[in-house]
Amino acid sequence: MKFQATAFASLAFFAQASFAADPTAQLTGLVRIVKSDGKTVIAQAAPMLVAANGTATSAMPQITVSEKDAFISSLGRCAFNFKYDEVSATAVATSTNRLYSIDTLIAQNTLIALTPKVVKTIWTQPYLFAGANNVKVVVNVDGVPSTGWVRINVTGTCGKPAAAPAPAPARPAPAPSPAPAPLTYIQPGSGDWNNLNNAWGYSNYAVTQLKGKGYAKYDEVVRLNAALTSAINTKKISTGDYASLMAAWNALQADAAFKAAMAAIVPTAGKK
């Protein structure tokens, strides 16, 4: 599940000069894993910046989080609230960033606009593997990329069945990765789009009817509804983002507490 936070911060512009061959979007500051409030930091680190020629600024930092900090755990992967910062010396109308773990694309943020020398914080929700994840954050993939690495160790199984094989071990890094396959999109008129639209309608109903009713995961329902609403309004969604959103929605629908809360709804007057 992945969506873009648009919070601005007046942080200092300190991307190193050796990594500023392109005056546009650069990775800067700390990467953070935060709680659902978007403010409380669980773990953070300054990423190891890597230039296009493979030169690194430092050793790869490591942080550790627990599956208990994830808001969704399923089939050996945990979803976390993940924040990182980027900054540009010049205005940027739109740019694209991607996150990878063990060479797997786990999040993509698109249509990012930047004001010169103003740090922008991006909030996304990648799924990390249980165990070690060499996470690569690539800013400005369509220009001269700015790349940072951090190893995130996730303790616990993230809902992985006991009989399932262990995930592939984390690979030593960094090494230049091949360009990812072109993105494909799901658009109105397709069966998958109809599934997305149905999930959106049901999540709208859940957000309205469960508000103030004491459901423990209400904030999660609100976040999912916001992500679904963004996709519906954009009128297209990448296949990867679609899979993450629907996996999160299906996991929520399978939750016994959610089903019980929805079954107990007495419709509020004036709310659909």
Q: Can you give the pLDDT at residue 168?
A: 74
The answer to which of 201-205, 235-239, 258-262, 266-270 has the lowest mean pLDDT is 266-270
> Is pTM beyond 0.85 here?
no
**Exposed e or buried b per residue across 231-245, where buried means at least 16 C-beta atoms within 10 angstroms of its C-beta:** bbeeeebbebbbebb
Instruction: Give the separation between CA 230 and CA 207, rounded to whole angstroms.
Output: 15
Maximum Cα–Cα distance across the chain: 63
In the predicted model, is pLDDT for residue 145 greater than 80?
Answer: yes
Output the pLDDT for position 131. Answer: 94
**CA dist list (Å): 92 to 96, 118, 199:** 11, 11, 34
Burial of 6 (0-12, 13-18, 19+ CB in 10 A): exposed
Please state, as a whole number, how many other Cβ atoms lie within 10 Å of the Cβ of residue 191.
8
97: Cβ–Cβ under 8 A, 6 or more apart, which residues? Answer: 25, 86, 108, 109, 110, 112, 122, 137, 138, 139, 140, 141
Lowest mean pLDDT among 24-28, 52-56, 139-143: 52-56
